[in-house]
Structure formats: structure tokens, C-alpha cells
């Protein structure tokens, strides 16, 4: 089984490609390298002894997509390619809508032309906005997003839902990730943000390795266990396994399938910091700063639907997430720039 993986050498894509190869699924990767390095392909080869077919190109380039579909008998697509920084999306909304929304439409058109009607899309818990109730189930209201990035994910979900309503032979799976963190246990692949990290875990990792002076904690007066923000952190290897389950179980069934990928457990910023300090064996400096506009107090997933229908649940602990991130970061202090 061949699966086109857009954005396949990015953070989640690279871990998922390894899981695919291990599951006997052949990834065909398309990536424009806007947030990734070719060295990832070497690392995938080292870990699996297989070098995936790679196309350098943009998901908005329909000719390129048409070529890929004509050169390979592809049965499904996993669509990771997109821009993902909330802060940057506020400054560059047009770029975000063009890449994330237009890219998804071009891809869907090319798929239809090629007769490929199975897609797994990287959505996000941001589509739920500021939830009134936790845990958040797949039926919770969506759309009250707080930034252009979140809106771009919500809009793509709407486009795909309308496509399914019009053409019910499609199999469309929307995976709403909570907060993927961690790295492959080998330490060979991991998250390598360019510039200032947007997310907590890579930020802590860069403090631990000496690239940043301290962790900025935005707000300690939320109504949470210790006043800091609470999120549902999930190991990227569990996220990768969720894609394999989705491909195998619903990837060939016509339908609009929607699942949360989370652990079902909320963890605060300070709990994460403690887990990381334990992993790296040092106390890490942090400073409390004012809350950031648009940040929500807490959010975690209801995981029942994925458990029941995909027979999938996250198995890795917070300590494993911290230990694997530290293993990756300490072996690659400058990320893939060390290669």
C-alpha cells in the first residue's frame, strides 16, 4: 500500500513515516522544505533501512501532484503539509490561508482527478477554541477559533465536510491533535523549530541545552492546578501510531471520520517543567510573565471515540515524553543543523 505523505519530513510526518514503514506501508513524501531538512531522509533510512521516495515540491503545485499520482499507485494521502505557528499566523494571515486552505483544496482536486478518495488530515484541537467543558469530545462545538492558524484548520475541516456531503464515496479522516511532544526514542529524529520555538516542550529543551536563558511561563493565575496553563501533551510516537490505526481502520471506509488524538490527561506548564528537569538532571530557570492574549486556561481530550473505533490510545507517559525530547535535544543541540 502506497500513501502520499505531504509534509512527510516535518516533525510529525517523519515519525509517522517511520511507523508506516514498520507497518508495511510505503510512504511517498512531498515536502517543500520550508520547515524541514533533507537530513531527515537519511535518519529515516538509518532507522528503517528504507529510503522513502521523496519529491521536493509544494502542495499548491497541482502539476507536481498530478505527476506523483501518475507515477505511483497511491491509495491514500496523509496531509501534514502546512504552516503551524499561531503567532506568525496573526502577522501573516494571507500566507496561512494560502498554504493551509488553498494547499488542501489543490490537493483534493488532484486526488479527485487521480481517483484517490482517501485522506487523513492533520487538524488541531485549536478548532475547539476556548472549551466550555473538558474533556473535549469530538461533538464539542468548533469554530470559535482565536487566530488565523486555528481558522485555517477549521475552514479546511468545513471544506472537507462539504466535499464529503457532495461526494460520499470519499473517506475523509480529520485527526484533531492536542499537543504533540517528544521524539523518536533513538534520538535520531525530533522537533527542530526554526528560530524561537512556539511550543512549550522545544522551548524547555532549548533552555536545558543552553540555547535559551530561561523558560517564559505566560500566566500563573489561571484557575488550574498550579495557576499555569494546562494542556494535553501526547507523545509524537503515539500520534504516529494514531495515523496507522486511522489508515488501517477507516482509511478505506467511505465516511467523514473525526477523532481526537490526545491522552485524556491535562498537565500544567510547571508539571512539564518538573518532568523535564527530572529527565535532564538539572533545575531549569523560569520566569512568570503576564498571560498571552488568546491563550486558554486548560484543554484536554476525550479519548473514548478513538479508543472504541480505532482501537487506539496513547500509551507513553509524561516522563517518557520529557526523556525522549531530552535524548533528541542533547544529541542534536542545534537540531538538524548539526548534520
Whole-angstrom Cα distance, residue 31 to residue 86? 21
Whole-angstrom Cα distance, residue 261 to residue 306? 7
Residue 13 is placed in which grid cell? Answer: 510526518
* Smallest separation, CB 64 to ligand NAD (Å): 9
224: Cβ contacts below 8 Å, ≥ 6 apart: 230, 266, 268, 297, 298
Active site residue 233: no
* Smallest separation, CB 321 to ligand NAD (Å): 13
Residue 70 is placed in which grid cell? Answer: 501518475
Are residues 28 and 2 in contact, defined by beta-carbon separation less than 8 angstroms? yes
Catalytic residue of the set 11, 96, 128, 149: 149
Alpha-carbon distances of 286 from 148, 215, 253, 275, 295, rounded to whole Å: 29, 4, 48, 14, 19
Are residues 37 and 9 in contact, defined by beta-carbon separation less than 8 angstroms? yes
* Smallest separation, CB 105 to ligand NAD (Å): 12
Residue number, 36 or 206, with CB nearest to ligand NAD: 36
* Smallest separation, CB 335 to ligand NAD (Å): 11
Residue number, 110 or 199, with CB nearest to ligand NAD: 199
Residue number, 59 or 297, with CB nearest to ligand NAD: 59
Residues of this chain that interact with ligand NAD (CB under 6 A) are 6-7, 9-13, 30-36, 58-60, 80-84, 99, 103, 122, 124, 177, 179-180, 199
In the block, cell 473505533 appears at 309
Residue number, 54 or 222, with CB nearest to ligand NAD: 54
Q: Which residues are annotated as catalytic?
A: 149
Amino acid at each position: 500500500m502506497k500513501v502520499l505523505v505531504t509534509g512527510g519530513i516535518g516533525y510529525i510526518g517523519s515519525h509517522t513515516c517511520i511507523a508506516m514503514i514498520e507497518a508495511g506501508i510505503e510512504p511517498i513524501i512531498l515536502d517543500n522544505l520550508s520547515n524541514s531538512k533533507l537530513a531527515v531522509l537519511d535518519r529515516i533510512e538509518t532507522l528503517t533501512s528504507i529510503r522513502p521516495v521523496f519529491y521536493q515540491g509544494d502542495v499548491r503545485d497541482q502539476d507536481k501532484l498530478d505527476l506523483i499520482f501518475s507515477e505511483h499507485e497511491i491509495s491514500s494521502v496523509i496531509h501534514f503539509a502546512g504552516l503551524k505557528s499561531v503567532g506568525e499566523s496573526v502577522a501573516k494571515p494571507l500566507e496561512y490561508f494560502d498554504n493551509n486552505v488553498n494547499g488542501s483544496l489543490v490537493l483534493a482536486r488532484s486526488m479527485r482527478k487521480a481517483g484517490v478518495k482517501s485522506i487523513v488530515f492533520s487538524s488541531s484541537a485549536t478548532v475547539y477554541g476556548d472549551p466550555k467543558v473538558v474533556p473535549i469530545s469530538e461533538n464539542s462545538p468548533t469554530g470559535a477559533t482565536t487566530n488565523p492558524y486555528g481558522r485555517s484548520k477549521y475552514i479546511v475541516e468545513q471544506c472537507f465536510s462539504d466535499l464529503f456531503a457532495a461526494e460520499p464515496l470519499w473517506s475523509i479522516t480529520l485527526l484533531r491533535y492536542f499537543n504533540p511532544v517528544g521524539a523518536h526514542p533513538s534520538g535520531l529524529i525530533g522537533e527542530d523549530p526554526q528560530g524561537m520555538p512556539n511550543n512549550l516542550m522545544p522551548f524547555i529543551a532549548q533552555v536545558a541545552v543552553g540555547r535559551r536563558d530561561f523558560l517564559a511561563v505566560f500566566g500563573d493565575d489561571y484557575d488550574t492546578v498550579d495557576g499555569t496553563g494546562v494542556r494535553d501533551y501526547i507523545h509524537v510516537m503515539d500520534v504516529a501510531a494514531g495515523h496507522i490505526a486511522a489508515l488501517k481502520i477507516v482509511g478505506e471506509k467511505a465516511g467523514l471520520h473525526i477523532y481526537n488524538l490526545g491522552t485524556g490527561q491535562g498537565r500544567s506548564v510547571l508539571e512539564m517543567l518538573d518532568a523535564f528537569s527530572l529527565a535532564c538532571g538539572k533545575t531549569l530557570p523560569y520566569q512568570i510573565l503576564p498571560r498571552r492574549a488568546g491563550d486558554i486556561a486548560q484543554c484536554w481530550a476525550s479519548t473514548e471515540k478513538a479508543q472504541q473505533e480505532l482501537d487506539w490510545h496513547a500509551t507513553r507517559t509524561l516522563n517518557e515524553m520529557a526523556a525522549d525530547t531530552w535524548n533528541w535535544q542533547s544529541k542534536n543541540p542545534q537540531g538538524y543543523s548539526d548534520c
